[in-house]
Amino acid sequence: MTFPFMPEQASTMAASVDNLFFFLLAVSAFFAVLIAVLVVVFAVKYRRVHEASVGAPIHGGLVLELTWTIIPLGIAMVMFVWGASVYFDLARVPQNAVEIYITGKRWMWKAQHLTGQKEINALHVPVGQPVKLIIQSEDVIHSFFIPAFRAKMDAVPGRITTMWFEATKPGRYHLFCAEYCGTNHSGMTGYVEVMEPSAFQTWLGGGAQEGSLAEAGEQLFNKLGCATCHSGDSQARGPNLEGVFGTTVTLANGQQVLFDEEYARESILNPQAKMVEGYLPLMPTFQGLVNEEGLAQLIEYVKSLSQGGATPTPTPAAVPGSTPKPQPSDP
Amino acid sequence: MHDVRSTDPEGEAFQTEVQPRVHYLNATHGIAAWLLTKDHKRIGLLYLFAISVFFLIGGVFAMLVRLELLTPEGDLLSSEAYNTAFSMHGIIMVFFFLVPSIPAVFGNFFLPIMIGAKDVAFPKLNLMSWYIAMIAGFMILTTLLMGGVDTGWTFYPPYSTTGSTSNVVLAALAIFVMGFSSILTGLNFIVTVHTMRAPGMTWGRLPLFVWAQYATSLIMVLGTPVLAITLGLVFAERVFHFGIFDPKLGGDPILFQHLFWFYSHPAVYIMILPGMGVISELVAAFSRKQVFGYNFIAASSLAIAIVGFLVWGHHLFTSGQSAYAALVFSVLSFIVAIPSAIKVFNWTATLYRGSISLQSPMLYALGFIGLFTIGGLTGLFLAALGLDLHMQDTYFVIAHFHYIMVGGTLLAYLGALHYWWPKITGRLYTEGWAKVAAVTVFVGFNLTFFPQFLVGYLGMPRRYHAYVPEFQVLNVLSTAGASILAIGFILPACYLLHSLFKGEIAGRNPWGAYGLEWDTTTPPPPSNFEVTPIVTRPAYAYTHADVVEPYGGTTEGSGESGGQEVRSV
Ligand code: HEM
Ligand SMILES: [Cu+2]
């Protein structure tokens, strides 16, 4: 029976994570073998021959102690810096990434593409393009884990986390939930299908009933009555949401916060937490009225208000039921 | 070896003592005398009994987990049963075995003797700690009988507060109660070390086991209340729906992780520091040599205790915590590895030009050095930020902490048991079998857990009831190893019990070791020493004069002075 020793390398980061791994492995192997050899050699060489003999009266040595404190400390710092630099590469999402919303729910992974395409326990992504996952959870903590990409991020209820990867090889890779989430935790798995960009576009066009995510978000925006306050005119009781995504807003307490996915989400669920300067605390919470998928749509709609200028143009998307269309916004 | 002087006429009395000699085991009789004892030695034995039972239960669950993982399908247990099995395994092993093991058994028994004290500072409190532990044990067994708990030993909310339907409240309460036992034992040890040392037993002469117990006690007293508060909050949220951790109620689940690991990371050191203390004793005794760099070892125990409190955030690298927090926790985690590395180097250097005897306790000690080294080095992988994102919550982590906690703590525990068994019981066990067992444990352990590093890096997540077929070969190896390991645990149970009835009578000092516990008679008298010892030499100051009669030694009452020797330095 054949079985693998190393996971496949299928993302741009996989090799750098593995290189760090091999470095640590080499250092560890060196020290482990060193200690093992010394222990065995000493145990044999200095074994007790006379029942009453005692060891040599050696009490210590400052030079030795300092040596084996400072050298390991130096090596550890190299590991730290190397580890941190890989980490920053893994954490810093490239600007041009394709965005996909991921929601963990016991016991499945739901993905929403900007085009409105949805899938469960599967994730289709294009090869050679950075993909940013915007991760939420509907119930308990989960963790989105693709070993072949050396990437993992928790899905934490109540907040948004993000991760990214760029797949390098078309194929099908395991997708696991890595944070224990109850009965069917080990069944919360699926696969990531990495496709050639053209095939991916074809797949994307394969039929999203509700239109793009932003379009669905707009409908929800109107249905929930958000538009009555966030109408954009001067009499509105809520701030205009056009053009604010990605900017810094000033709060009533003078603090500055970045208007990002997390802030949008918090403002919907817990509006009084970070009040924008100049507005009354009138907005009701929508906690319980929108689920995570709805949140993704709303956030994407608010985002779209800042992408197409003043007019709410959602990200170009496949028209429901129509033939596939390319996505000009994603380079 | 230690100057034992008597200035009062009573000192003369014991020299003419008549057989049978009174020692702590035969001083009084009957169940009541044991259950109401204030003798720290008897309390140590009460713990030994209780903890062995917990280890057995935890071990049965380990075997269930391993057998389930023999095949990729979830065929042996239902998923609920599997989740309960690994949760009960983790909870019982951590909170009811590892945390109390060495301190409660050997700390209780030997710490007072090793510093020349008659007892711990608060004997009644000591007994109360045992009763509190038993109440907690009773609660966790009740949890088990009611169907167990399935949250894992980490109790992460919102799963534990709203998602799980198992007996979370009772289990959390059991751990909460157990925590009080830890705190009281810790307090007792701290006060004992400060106030009860024999004349001449300066801080610089304390055996390293005592230093380790002291550092552990500090963590217990400072850290355990945080755990108690955290579990109290889980209780409040689950029962009264306080919005502390569940975002649906306005809480924050990450807050729990911070609180939980603020205790539970130092708790790893609560488990391992006493083990390190034991290894220092064993390496010195079986090399007949002063431990190399006594001051560095003692100081590194304290350094671990302090820095160990500052690294909890490395359990949160994948939780979306800020990159700067991650950096700080990562660098501190690398730094806390250094004192552990120092200890490993020191133990190895102690062997150099020693008079090394590979008796069974020493085999455990050398096994410990190997396993602990691997466990410690693999910890570096997890502290390296970029790697941890891949490895967090996989079997790599399982393998890492088993190398540290089982390879480390458990081997030290077994080493301590074999080293001090003759002193505790007055009997020798069959050394040949003990060696076989030590080797079996070492081989079984590596076969169990080494493949888990590989399957973890391949991407097998922990707490999986069924897995993808690529992972099977490594899992089969691991289960095979677990079976060998189980034999390695059953063997000592057999020959140690056998020794109680058929074992040769042990002398005062069967190993020819140095330390106050080997000065007093075997088994020790109820007050530990007939005459308060006066210490005039540093720890482990071996000279030929100390080991004149390593084996036959002076048996009960038959020695020159009933086992007590008066020697000048
Ligand atoms: C025969 C020996 C053992 C085997 C085969 C074994 C196996 C396992 C396995 C497979 C798990 C992972 C469960 C999962 O996450 O799905 C586990 C978890 C654990 N084991 Fe062991 N174990 C053994 C002995 C021990 C011992 C002796 C201790 C402590 C002294 C221990 C402490 C733990 C802890 C704390 C966990 C974590 C549980 C969790 O993730 O919730 N194990 N063990
Ligand atoms: Cu999950």
For residue range B356-380, what is the model confidence (pLDDT) as tens digits? 999 999 999 999 999 999 999 999 9
Q: Can the peptide bond before residue A107 be classed as cis, meaning omega within 30 degrees of 0?
A: yes
- Specify the ligand 1 atom closest to the Cα of B486: 1
List CB-based neighbours of ion ligand 2 within 5 Å.
A 142, 177, 181, 188
Tens of pLDDT along chain A (331 residues) come to: 557 788 999 999 999 999 999 999 999 999 999 999 999 999 999 999 888 888 888 888 899 999 999 999 999 999 999 999 999 999 899 989 999 999 999 999 999 999 888 899 999 999 999 999 999 999 999 999 999 999 999 999 988 999 999 999 999 999 999 999 999 999 999 999 999 999 999 888 765 566 788 888 888 888 888 888 887 777 778 888 888 888 888 888 888 888 888 888 888 888 888 888 888 888 888 888 888 888 888 888 888 888 753 333 333 333 333 333 333 333 3
Closest residue CA from atom 1 of ligand 1: B482
Q: How far apart are the first and last CA of chain B?
A: 7
Q: With an 8 Å Cβ cutoff, are A24 and B349 in contact?
A: no
For residue range B67-122, what is the model confidence (pLDDT) as tens digits? 999 999 989 999 999 999 999 999 999 999 999 999 999 999 999 999 999 999 99
How is residue B233 written in tokens? 């909050």
Count CA atoms within 13 Å of residue B95 on its CB side. 34
Output DSSP code: residue A6. Answer: S
pLDDT of residue B102: 96
Q: With an 8 Å Cβ cutoff, are A87 and B385 in contact?
A: yes
Q: What is the rounded average pLDDT of the residues B434-460?
A: 97
Percent of chain B that is helix, strand, coil (3-state, to 5): 70, 0, 30
**Backbone CA torsion sign across B317, B323, B324, B328:** positive
Cβ–Cβ under 8 Å, residues B272 and B404: yes
- Specify the ligand 1 atom closest to the Cα of B464: 16
From the list B279, B273, B300, the residue with the least C-alpha distance to B350 is: B279
Closest residue CA from atom 19 of ligand 1: B90
> Which residue type does A260 have?
D
Instruction: Round to whole Å and give the CA distance between B81 and A183.
Output: 9
How is residue B462 written in tokens? 């922990």
pLDDT of residue A308: 56
Check pocket membership of B152 for ligand 1, CB cut-off 6 A.
yes
From the list B520, B553, B320, the residue with the least C-alpha distance to B428 is: B553
Q: DSSP letters along A209-236, please?
A: TT--HHHHHHHHHHHTTHHHHS--STT-
- Using DSSP's 3-state secondary structure scheme, residue A255 falls into coil
pLDDT of residue B178: 95
Could you tell me how many CB contacts below 8 A there are between chain A and chain B? Answer: 302
Cβ-based contacts of A43 with chain B (< 8 Å): 351, 356, 358, 366
For residue range B277-322, what is the model confidence (pLDDT) as tens digits? 999 999 999 999 999 999 988 898 888 888 888 999 999 999 888 8
Cβ–Cβ under 8 Å, residues A183 and B79: yes
Count CA atoms within 13 Å of residue B557 on its CB side. 10
Question: b vs e for A33-63, b when ≥16 Cβ sit within 10 Å of the residue's Cβ?
Answer: eebbebbeebbeebebeeeebbbeeeebeee
What residues have CB less than 8 Å from B10, skipping those under 6 apart? B531
Minimum mean pLDDT among A302-311, B229-238, B522-531: which range? A302-311
Q: Can the peptide bond before residue B20 be classed as cis, meaning omega within 30 degrees of 0?
A: yes
Q: Does A60 touch chain B (CB under 8 A)?
A: yes
Q: How far is CA B375 from the centre of its chain?
A: 16
Cβ-based contacts of B457 with chain A (< 8 Å): 6-7, 21
Instruction: Round to whole Å and give the CA distance between B458 and A153.
Output: 17
Q: Using CB atoms and an 8 Å cut-off, which of residues 76-115 of chain A contact chain B? A: 76-77, 79-80, 82-91, 106
What residues have CB less than 8 Å from B366, skipping those under 6 apart? A39, A43, B358
pLDDT of residue A206: 63
pTM, full prediction: 0.89
Instruction: Round to whole Å and give the CA distance between A266 and A302.
Output: 13
Give the residue with greater pLDDT, B400 vs A275.
B400
Nearest to A154 among B320, B348, B380 (CB): B320
Nearest-Cα residue of chain A relative to residue B300:
A69
Adjacent-strand bridge partners of A99: A132
From the list B260, B252, B254, the residue with the least C-alpha distance to B229 is: B260
Å between A128 CA and nearest CA of chain B: 21
What residues have CB less than 8 Å from B29, skipping those under 6 apart? none
pLDDT of residue B113: 97
Ligand nearest to the CA of B462: 1
- Using DSSP's 3-state secondary structure scheme, residue A204 falls into helix
Instruction: Round to whole Å and give the CA distance between B182 and A286.
Output: 46
Nearest to A68 among B345, B357, B471 (CB): B345
Q: Using CB atoms and an 8 Å cut-off, which of residues 146-165 of chain B contact chain A? A: 150, 152, 156-159, 162-164
pLDDT of residue A296: 85
Q: Does A73 touch chain B (CB under 8 A)?
A: yes
Name the packing angle between helices A62-91 and B323-351 (round to 10°).
150
Cβ–Cβ under 8 Å, residues B426 and B505: yes
Q: DSSP letters along B304-362, please?
A: HHHHGGG-GGGG-TTTT--HHHHHHHHHHHHHHHHHHHHHHHHHHHHHTT--B---HHH
Check pocket membership of B462 for ligand 1, CB cut-off 6 A.
yes
Give the residue with greater pLDDT, A260 vs B482.
B482
Give the residue with greater pLDDT, A327 vs B481.
B481
Name the packing angle between helices B253-287 and B294-307 (round to 10°).
170
Determine the Cα angle at A178 with ends B245 and B252, to 5°. Answer: 10
Minimum mean pLDDT among A206-215, B212-221, B551-560: which range? B551-560
Cβ–Cβ under 8 Å, residues B444 and B538: no
pLDDT of residue B17: 42
Q: Decide if pLDDT at B36 tops 50.
A: yes
Count of residues making up chain B: 569
Report strand pairing: A151-155 vs B427-428: unpaired
pLDDT of residue A52: 82
Q: Decide if pLDDT at B15 tops 90.
A: no
